[in-house]
Structure 1
Amino acid sequence: MSVDNRRARSSSPSAGANGRDERGAGAARVPETESDAVARPVRRRPKNRRAQIAAAAASAFGSQGYHSVSMEDIAGGLGISSAALYRHYPSKYALFQEESLRVGQAMAESVRLPSDTADRPPEQLLREVLTALSTVTVANRASVALVRWEGRYLEPADREIRAGQQAAVLDALDTRVAAYRPGTSGGDRAVLVVAILSVITSIADHHATLPAKSLAGLLVSTCVELAGVALPPPADIEPAPPVEIPDSFKHELLLRKGVELFHARGYPNVSVEDIATAAGLSAASAVYRFYRGKSDLLAAAFRRAAERVSSAIGPAVAAASGPRDALDSLIRQYVEGSFAERELTFVYYTEFQHVPIEERAALRNVQRLSVEEWARLVRQVRPELSGPQARFLVHAAFALVVDLGRAFGTVAAASEERVALLMRTVLNGR
């Protein structure tokens, strides 16, 4: 249905073009008395309706993904008609684009220092920039997922604007870290800056709660610790040998090819036919011998990723001499597993909303229990932290691995040793 048709349907069916009542010849008008006019409340549109729509859309896009949300969903959540929504925004993309670029611009503007800062110590300036960026990110938490994960669905011109906003944030952080750590090479600073931004924006990946001021303070202190890390020399990264999957393991081949496609294109842009072709099958129908559909395949990938994290906890704790040793073991295993299956790690963060509903509760439970176990170890190492603070740090440490992989791929600057050190810094402090 076109926008015009939606609007036409929403207009009153009882008023004709000449303004006369068309409910029927026998319908007599009853004069409205003064008491009737007083008794009937006048409905007024809220002055901030557009802002309400943007906030509701951002929350929906962030939690369910751009492709999984319709204009009707957004309108229904606000208790308004679709026609009322279209009066403010011509399309779902217009909503998505405006909110994505608004948040990106707010983050870019937050890292601009005033001109009268030349005499302030480098650490103070670093903290000021981190505080401003963290405060804006916390205030826009529901929308940060748009700039963090959904940006690939922006149209090319808008994606370019978004890339410029991201570059402005990274450049500002790099300037402040360079002043704070004057002997650090540009390559090392690039790693530290990506890690810092990852920690701050990781709050969009989960629903743990802390008061805004406390959360911003935790993010700032963690990022200052990251800025002070002395990274070991970059290590050469050996390309992983190609994995040969026997013909009898078609389900494994389909899983691998499906994850690769979801990573490259995004789940909504991949068809069962695409997966079948990538796996060398003659027809899409062959996929259904192993999986009920691509969502079933995605759920299998998520189960594998979740089990990789959860199954490591018990043995690591049992074999460790204490909580710090157990954390170190878990960090090593997490980094190794993420490097071995980079695409799966990325898809695990970006496509959860496409997992079948009946699978989500079980997966969330596994995720929650894993985070709780990691957070319990963190609190044993750092008893000054509260439970929520420890959970935020665990989520930040996980996100850091994904974001460094996205930014550097197999470049030596983000080797396993370096990533593991940054994870330990987030969790253990310095």
Structure 2
Amino acid sequence: MTPPHGSVSASARPAVTDPIAATRPRNRKQLIVEAAGRVFSEHGYHTASMEKIAAGVGITAAALYRHFPNKYALFAECADLMADRLVTALDEVPPTADLPDVLSAVTRVSVAHRASGGVYRWEARYLNREDRRRLRAKFGRIVGRVDEAVQRAHPLPGERLRAAAALGAIGSIAMHHTSIAQRRAEELLSETALRVAATDPTAVRGDARPVELPAQPVPRTRRAEILAAAVPLFARDGFASVTNGQIAEAVGLAPSALYRHYSGKVDILAAACLQAAGLLAQGVDQSLHEVAGPHDAIVALAATYVAYSFEYTALNSVAEAELAGLPDGLRRSLVLAQREHIAVWEQQLRLARPELDPRQARVLVHAGFGVAVEAGRGLRWQDSRDHRDAVTALVVGSLGL
């Protein structure tokens, strides 16, 4: 067929190269997900923006929307990616592999992708029911595979508890910024996870003194009532998803009335984080009174942190998960309180284990926190003396005492 007058046939037309298409990497979607994981981990879900994520890839937000329709879709992809990496790493290990090989496979992936692993602080709050169900099934498969190796190596009571706790120790590397070489981090975390797996959950029973936590203040003012009502909502649905209307309804107020007591929702979150930090600091001060030495101090710190986590589960969950999303001015004092708490642990751990340098001790302290969180989740935070003692034993075991 003859082309219309003045036109040029496709075969005769000189090739035109789209400069954008020519420079666009073929793995752009993967690069976007990697950048998004880092932004979510660093800033929290509700303050992460598509603009921040796009800037991390070196593209515009408009270009980002060609791959993902919204922030939620991108977040769900981030959560899936890390789980898929762990599943793949374990699938590559023989079914009857020794426990060190199984844990090393998980550790390598977790350390290599440390910067984006923090998305799991928010997945339970921000994923919809179906996405959450699918992700939990993947993690159930991971825990099950690790538990098989744990039971072969150390057949002790506590179904899956030690496996979940060992994975908590490994995953803790995503929850802090301690600078440490990748190889050394892998060695430390693998050794820690192995100690957790070998720990008898009944080991600390009777060793730790009873923990006396400060009582959570009874809400006697409208401001305190608002805070008490907001915390379980933040814990269940996530700060970003909770509206002023929901909080107001929980205390029988009109939404506009909240502003007589708080300047905005973020100030309620800041108050919750401050309350959590204060309760934990008081508990630590009480637990360290008249301890006999660094070993007893570590046991007391572990028992206090575990008791606090069981007793104030919703408050602690909100403080841990949502701190990154606070504005700098509100976050500064809370970060300082968090560092002071960690410094107490670090000091006592280095007295008990003088071979550790400060960075190694800090990594281990965070690993202990990770053990407490995942073991507590594994027990569904059902509070009892036996559960508290079991988790405390696993935390103390993780620290190599």
Q: Where on the TM-score scale, by shorter chain, does this alignment land: which range?
A: 0.7 to 0.9
What residue is the counterpart of 2:364 in the other structure?
393
1:282 aligned residue: 253
Contact kept, 8 Å, 1:317 with 1:323, in 2: the verdict is no
Instruction: Measure, in 1, the Cα distance between the counterparts of 2:93 and 2:395.
Output: 33
- 1:191 maps to what in 2? 161
Match of 2:41 in 1: 62
Q: Which amino acid aligns with 2:161?
A: V
Q: Distance in 1 between matches of 2:178 and 2:325?
A: 21
1:200 is aligned to 170
The equivalent of 1:338 in structure 2 is: 309
> Unaligned 5+ residue runs, structure 1?
1-39, 236-241
SS in 2 for 1:256: helix
Matched residues in 1 for 2:149 and 2:168: separation?
16
- Quick one: which of 208, 212, 226 aligns to 1:254? 226
1:335, 1:251 → 2: CA distance?
28
Q: Distance in 2 between matches of 1:295 and 1:269?
A: 12
Map of 1:83-162 to 2, 5 A cutoff? 83-112=62-91, 114-115=93-94, 118=96, 125-162=98-135
Equivalent residue runs for 1:410-425 within 5 Å: 410=382, 415-425=387-397
1:289 to partner: Cα distance? 2.8
Amino acid at match of 1:89: F
Aligned to 1:164: 137
Q: What is the CA-CA distance between 1:139 and the residue it aligns to?
A: 1.0
The CA distance in 1 between the partners of 2:64 and 2:236, in whole Å, is 33
1:192 deviation in Å?
A: 1.0
Change (3 A) 1:96 1:244: closer
Q: Kindly state the Cα deviation for residue 316 of structure 1 after the two structures are TM-superposed.
A: 4.8
- Which digits, 9 at most, give the CA deviation of each residue in 1:74-97, with x for residues without a partner? 223433222332334343333223
Kindly state the Cα deviation for residue 399 of structure 1 after the two structures are TM-superposed: 2.8
Distance between the aligned counterparts of 2:159 and 2:128, measured in 1? 31
Q: Secondary structure at the match of 1:230?
A: coil
In the alignment, structure 1 residue 269 sits paired with structure 2 residue 248: no
CA distance in 2, matches of 1:233, 1:376: 24
Whether the 8 Å contact between 1:263 and 1:343 is mirrored in structure 2 is yes
- Classify 1:286/1:90 alpha carbon distance in 2 versus 1 (closer, same or farther; 3 Å): closer
CA distance in 1, matches of 2:386, 2:328: 36
Correspondences of 1:297-308 after superposition (within 5 Å): 297-308=268-279
- CA distance in 2 between counterparts of 1:412 and 1:321 reads 27
Instruction: Please give the per-residue CA displacement for 1:143-170, whole angstroms capped at 9, x wherever unaligned.
Output: 2222343254233333232122101111
CA distance in structure 2 between the aligned counterparts of 1:192 and 1:145, rounded to whole angstroms: 22
How far off its partner does 1:313 sit?
Answer: 4.7
Q: Which residue of 2 aligns with 1:6?
A: none
Q: Is the 8 A contact 1:97 1:154 kept in 2?
A: yes
Q: TM-score, normalised by structure 2?
A: 0.84
The one-letter code sitting in structure 2 at the alignment partner of 1:163 is R
- Equivalent residue number for residue 210 of structure 2: none
Shift of 1:105: 0.7
Going from structure 1 to structure 2, the CA distance change for 1:360 and 1:405 (only over 3 Å counts) comes to same
Deviations 1:119-141 (A, max 9, x none): x6xxxx10000000000111111
Fraction of identical pairs, as percent: 34
Q: Is the 8 A contact 1:100 1:151 kept in 2?
A: no
Deviation string 1:42-62 (CA, Å, 9 cap, x unpaired) is 983345433332221111112
Cα deviation 1:24-65 (Å, max 9, x = unaligned): xxxxxxxxxxxxxxxx9x983345433332221111112222
Contact 2:284/2:304 (<8 A) preserved = no
Task: Tell me, yes or no, if the aligned pair for 2:235 and 2:318 is still in contact at 8 Å.
Answer: yes
Larger Cα-atom Rg: 1
- Check 1:348–1:282 CA distance in 2 against 1; reply closer, same or farther (3 A cut): closer
Task: Give 2:224's aligned amino acid.
Answer: E
CA RMSD of aligned residues (A): 3.0
User: Is residue 2:272 matched to residue 1:293?
Assistant: no
Conserved in 2, the CA contact under 8 Å of 1:202 and 1:396?
yes
Amino acid at match of 1:70: S
- 1:73 partnered with 2:41: no
Q: Which runs of 5+ in 2 are unaligned?
A: 1-18, 206-214
Q: Return the TM-score normalized by structure 1.
A: 0.79
Question: 1:317 deviation in Å?
Answer: 4.7
**1:81 alignment partner AA:** T
CA contact (8 A) 1:65 1:150 kept: no
Per the TM alignment, residue 377 of structure 1 is displaced from its structure 2 partner at its CA by 0.9
User: 2:354: which partner in 1?
Assistant: 383
Aligned AA (1:406)? R
Amino acid in structure 2 at the alignment position of 1:177 = V
Q: Give, as a single letter, the amino acid of the residue that structure 1 aligns with 2:237.
A: R
SS of the residue aligned with 1:80? coil
- Once the two structures are TM-superposed, the CA of residue 244 in structure 1 deviates from its matched residue by 9.5
CA separation in 2, counterparts of 1:379 and 1:112? 37
- 1:177 paired to 2:150: yes
Q: Is the 8 A contact 1:404 1:414 kept in 2?
A: no
Q: In structure 2, what is the Cα distance between the partners aligned to 1:301 and 1:60?
A: 24
- Give yes or no for the alignment of 1:355 onto 2:355: no
How far residue 352 of structure 1 moved from its aligned partner, in angstroms, is 1.2
Taking the aligned partners of 2:122 and 2:217, their CA distance within structure 1 comes to 31
Distance 1:317 1:245 in 2: 26
Give 1:381 shift.
Answer: 0.4
Contact map agreement 1:342 1:405 (CA 8 A) in 2: no
Aligned-partner Cα distance in 2 for 1:147–1:284:
31
2:135 and 2:80 map into 1 onto residues whose CA distance is 6
Is the 2:272–2:315 Cα contact (8 Å) retained in structure 1?
Answer: yes
1:226 paired residue among 196, 204, 212 = 196
The CA deviation string for residues 271-323 of structure 1, in whole angstroms up to 9 with x for no partner, is 222122222x2322333332222211111111122223334555655622222
How far apart are the structure 1 equivalents of 2:259 and 2:377? 32
Match for residue 366 of structure 1? 337
Amino acid at match of 2:102: V
